[in-house]
Amino acid sequence: MLFVPTGTGMRTALLEVVGDCNSQAQLPLEGDAAAPCVWERQPTVDLGKVPLSQPRTLTVTCVLKNTGPLNLAGDMRVVSSPPEIVVKNTGKFVLTPGQCFDVQLDVTAATAGVKTAVINFGLPAECGDAASTIKVEIVEPRVIIDTIDFGRIRLLTPTNGEITISNLNTEEAEVTSIAAVDASNPHFSFTIPATPQKLAPGASVKIPVVFTPQARGPLTASVRAIIKGKESSPLIGEARGVGFLPAIAATGYTFTPWTVNTQSPDVNGKVVIRNTDADNALTISNVAFVTNDPSFTWTNALPTFPVVLAPGSAPLELPITGPNLARELVQRQPAGAVGASTNPEVGELIVTIFKTNYFRVYTSDDIVGCELAAALKNVVALAVGIVVAWVFSLAPLSILYFPTCACLS
């Protein structure tokens, strides 16, 4: 006999048995008809990504739902699970109609990779087999730190910059510590942010750094950042720059011995200033005596400072020479001179300073030629003086002048 209930609840029937001689018997039949098991489940649950070494406690809602009219009982167990997924609420449960079963679990995030756990809800046999798979991906932090290059900075000149730590993941990352590798480095000063510090996806943290070079040449300093989950591979950010200071190469002058309290005829004394830096301009802000010895004086006004010497440019030379006498210049007699410099700007500057309506100044880049002419003109001047003293006519002067010009040229 089969029992196929057509409705829920206690089902009854009366069975009559009829035999010979008008004999009969009645037998009762009973059967309890339960409502069918009706439920829904999530066959696969994807928890997404969890950062390495950042444990999480998660609740997966409504993994199993009782959609029938009666209570649904079960005994949930873990079929398989890696150490990184710990299911917490295993055991017996009862779901009333419409009620959901939530799975509570811990993700330890100990190692990277995709982790999968399988759970079975242990429903009665007549309800069928109900199981779900839970998946989570544990990802290594993708955090980077950059490098800053300050370039060439003049000595003792503070320059601000920053090193950036960036989270490239779609998950949160945590910076557990930041420290300067060499805190005593005199050239770089870091302002270390507070840690630990969590970085949202795409977020960054700035490490301000000030570069104040104390010495010439390439200089570097580093900071170390520890990211949770990658403690064995700290991030190293570098700050680097080059300290420079243009050096002045100056050459003085030694006069020939001369009698006390008389002016030396050596009028070619000069100071030569060179820029020895191949990459940076040298600014001459001033040239002045630092001693009080009156034996040395400037014969003419100095250029207007500052004077800038470009890298590789000709040196700054300050000679001025010509066939003129101080007494005649004071009397404003017509005279001329040559301002000699291999730097065209300096030559033009000399002309601007000394040119008057009675004193003509020319420029030349032939410093050696001007110096030779300054010396040789004295010989010519002596010869002219002899001719004038003997009261010769102008003809002897012309005879003296033209051969002299040929010799000097």
133-142 core/surface letters (b: 16 or more CB in 10 A; e: else): ebebebbbbb
Same domain, 110 and 199: no
CA geometry: angle at 192 spanning 191 and 193, to 5°?
A: 115
What is the Cα–Cα distance from 242 to 217, expressed in whole angstroms?
A: 5
CATH number at residue 164: 2.60.40.10
Look at residue 371 and tell me if it is in a domain: no
Same domain, 216 and 230: yes
Same domain, 177 and 89: no
pLDDT at 195 (0 to 100): 95
pLDDT at 402 (0 to 100): 57
Same domain, 87 and 177: no
What is the Cα–Cα distance from 396 to 403, expressed in whole angstroms?
A: 12
Look at residue 53 and tell me if it is in a domain: yes
pLDDT at 135 (0 to 100): 95
pLDDT at 184 (0 to 100): 94
Look at residue 176 and tell me if it is in a domain: yes
Look at residue 57 and tell me if it is in a domain: yes
Look at residue 23 and tell me if it is in a domain: no
Same domain, 182 and 226: yes
Same domain, 45 and 80: yes
One-letter identity of residue 382? L
Same domain, 119 and 209: no
Look at residue 83 and tell me if it is in a domain: yes
104-126 core/surface letters (b: 16 or more CB in 10 A; e: else): ebebbbeebeebebebebbbeee
292-314 core/surface letters (b: 16 or more CB in 10 A; e: else): eeeeeeeeeeebeeebebeeebb
- Pairing type for strands 9-19 and 23-33 reads antiparallel
Per-residue pLDDT of the chain (409 residues; tens, 9 = 90+): 777 776 666 778 888 878 777 777 878 888 776 656 889 999 999 988 888 888 889 999 999 999 988 889 999 999 999 999 999 999 999 999 999 999 999 998 888 899 999 999 999 888 888 999 999 999 888 899 999 999 989 899 999 999 999 999 888 889 999 999 999 999 999 999 999 999 999 999 999 999 999 998 999 999 999 998 888 889 999 999 999 887 777 777 777 777 776 677 776 777 788 887 777 778 888 887 777 666 776 666 677 788 888 877 777 665 545 555 555 665 677 877 787 777 777 777 777 767 777 777 788 888 777 777 777 777 777 776 776 666 555 566 566 555 655 565 5
Q: Name the pTM for this structure.
A: 0.50
Same domain, 84 and 124: yes
Same domain, 158 and 129: no
Q: Which two tokens stand for residue 13?
A: 């029937």
Domain boundary among 118, 139, 160: 139
What is the Cα–Cα distance from 347 to 320, expressed in whole angstroms?
A: 10
pLDDT at 211 (0 to 100): 97
Cβ–Cβ < 8 Å for 91, 75: yes
The full DSSP string for 244-301 is E-PPEEEE---PPP--TTS--S------EEEE--SSS-EEE------S--TT---SSP
Same domain, 200 and 127: no
What is the Cα–Cα distance from 97 to 99, expressed in whole angstroms?
A: 6
pLDDT at 316 (0 to 100): 65
Domain boundary among 225, 244, 263: 244
Largest Cα–Cα distance in the chain? 196
Report the domain count for the chain: 2
Domain boundary among 244, 279, 301: 244
Q: Name, in order, each residue with C-beta under 8 angstroms of 345's C-beta and a sequence gap of 6 or more.
A: 307
Look at residue 24 and tell me if it is in a domain: no
Same domain, 135 and 154: no
Residue 223's domain comprises 143-244
State CA 139 to chain mean position distance.
Answer: 27
Same domain, 96 and 152: no
From residue 51, alpha-carbon distances to 229, 233, 331 in Å are 8, 16, 93
Look at residue 154 and tell me if it is in a domain: yes
**The tokens 């009028």 sit on which residue?**
267
